[in-house]
């Protein structure tokens, strides 16, 4: 999800008051507030006046007015699937990158070449989707992802035979 901060409410002195775009890859599941984002120091500092980044970081919890905006990548950008470094022949964790569309990814499925059946991946945390299986995962794999708007997109054979952990694989065409 990408948000554009409008302005911190109660505006700490170090806040620039200028809109800033921040990419959010994880949501906090704690029932603190309807929206609660734990931002990196860099993201938090991007909302500060020049030279006062640390002052804003030291403000601790700041209420922010924001609006959600669509991700925008150049037309030539291809969707990318990153196989997380903890992946192995019986466990695969994937992160979809450079995705733009009608909302967040709310579902992801995987299919091995030659199989008819799609296997649902489970949302692990943030943007990470995973599968645990007693059977070895042998590529190539097609990935199907579903957005909150209901659009289903298939990336055919995007992860090759001989896939490796901590490696990214690009779709063959734009999606």
pLDDT of residue 57: 79
Q: List, for residues 67-118, the tens digit of each pLDDT value.
A: 767 777 788 888 899 999 999 999 999 999 888 777 788 999 999 988 999 9
Q: What is the domain-level CATH number for residue 37?
A: 2.40.40.10
Domain that holds residue 88: 80-170
Q: List, for residues 113-141, the tens digit of each pLDDT value.
A: 889 999 999 998 778 999 999 989 989 99
d(CA 49, CA 17): 8
Q: What is the mean pLDDT of residues 50-55?
A: 88
pTM: 0.69
d(CA 158, CA 21): 30
Q: What is the mean pLDDT of residues 48-75?
A: 78
Is residue 74 situated within a structural domain?
no
Residue 168 has pLDDT above 90, yes or no: yes
Mean pLDDT of all residues belonging to the chain:
82
Radius of gyration over every alpha carbon of the chain, rounded to an integer in angstroms: 19
Question: How many beta carbons lie within 10 A of that of residue 38, not counting itself?
Answer: 11
Mark 16-33 as b/e (b = at least 16 C-beta within 10 Å): beeebebebeeeeeeeee
Whether 119 and 143 map to the same domain: the answer is yes
Q: In total, how many domains does the chain have?
A: 2
Residue 27 has pLDDT above 60, yes or no: no
Token pair listed for 54? 């640390």
Whether 126 and 49 map to the same domain: the answer is no
Closest C-alpha to 92, from 103, 81, 102? 81
Q: What is the domain-level CATH number for residue 113?
A: 2.60.40.760
- Can you list the alpha helix ranges (DSSP code H) found in 2-161? 41-45, 53-57
Is residue 39 situated within a structural domain?
yes
Is residue 13 situated within a structural domain?
yes
Token pair listed for 138? 């042998």
Residues 51, 55, 61, 62, Cα dihedral to 10°: -50
Whether 147 and 85 map to the same domain: the answer is yes
Whether 92 and 137 map to the same domain: the answer is yes
Boundary (domain end) residue, out of 45, 69, 93: 69
């Amino acid at each position: 999800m990408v948000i554009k901060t409008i302005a911190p409410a109660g505006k700490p002195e170090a806040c620039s008051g200028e809109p800033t775009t921040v990419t959010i890859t994880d949501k906090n599941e704690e029932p603190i507030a309807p929206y609660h984002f734990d931002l990196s120091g860099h993201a938090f500092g991007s909302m500060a006046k020049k030279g006062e980044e640390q002052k804003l970081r030291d403000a601790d919890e700041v209420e922010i007015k924001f609006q959600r905006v669509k991700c925008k990548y150049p037309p030539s950008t291809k969707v990318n699937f990153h196989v997380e470094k903890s992946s192995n022949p019986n466990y695969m964790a994937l992160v979809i990158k450079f995705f733009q569309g009608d909302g967040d990814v709310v579902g992801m499925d995987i299919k091995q070449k030659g199989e008819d059946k799609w296997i649902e991946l489970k949302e692990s945390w943030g943007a990470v989707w995973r599968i645990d299986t007693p059977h070895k995962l042998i590529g190539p794999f097609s990935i199907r992802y579903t957005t909150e708007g209901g659009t289903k997109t298939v990336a055919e054979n995007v992860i090759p035979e001989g896939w490796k952990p901590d490696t990214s694989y690009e779709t063959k065409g734009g999606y």
